[in-house]
Amino acid sequence: DLATALNDRGQIKYFRVEFAAAMEDYTAAIQCQPAFEVPYYNRGLVLYRLGCFDEAVKDFRKVLELNPQFEDAALSLKQAILDKEEKQKRGY
């Protein structure tokens, strides 16, 4: 389906370190199929790598709302929160 195709294309762009283009595809996949948790997770990973912890946390929480058993999302959520706190401690 289209949402899966967009997500997969986003993955290719992610691996090419084309983060902005990957995020566009993940967002398009989400718009296409809002209950598909994987593009939220993938977009969250990009946001995390870019240091946009608040936005990453939102996406990881959405994944867990849609699929509470998504263990990688739970781990990524914890890490994003920890890294955000560490960033704040350092005054960034």
pLDDT given for residue 88 in this prediction: 86
Helical residues (DSSP H) of 1-92, grouped into ranges: 2-15, 19-32, 37-49, 53-66, 71-89
**Token pair for 86:** 């560490």
Q: Of 50, 45, 35, nearest to 10 (Cα)?
A: 45
Contacts of 40 (CB under 8 A, 6+ apart): 26, 30, 59, 60, 62, 63, 66
Report the CATH architecture of 2-90.
Alpha Horseshoe (1.25)
- Percent of the chain with pLDDT strictly greater than 90: 93
pLDDT given for residue 9 in this prediction: 98
pLDDT given for residue 55 in this prediction: 97
| Tens digit of each residue's pLDDT (9 = 90 or more) over 12-41 | 999 999 999 999 999 999 999 999 999 999
Q: Sketch the domain layout of the chain as residue ranges.
A: 2-90
pTM: 0.94
The number of beta carbons lying within 10 Å of the beta carbon of residue 88 is: 10
CA distances, 42 to each of 16, 51, 85 (Å) = 14, 14, 22
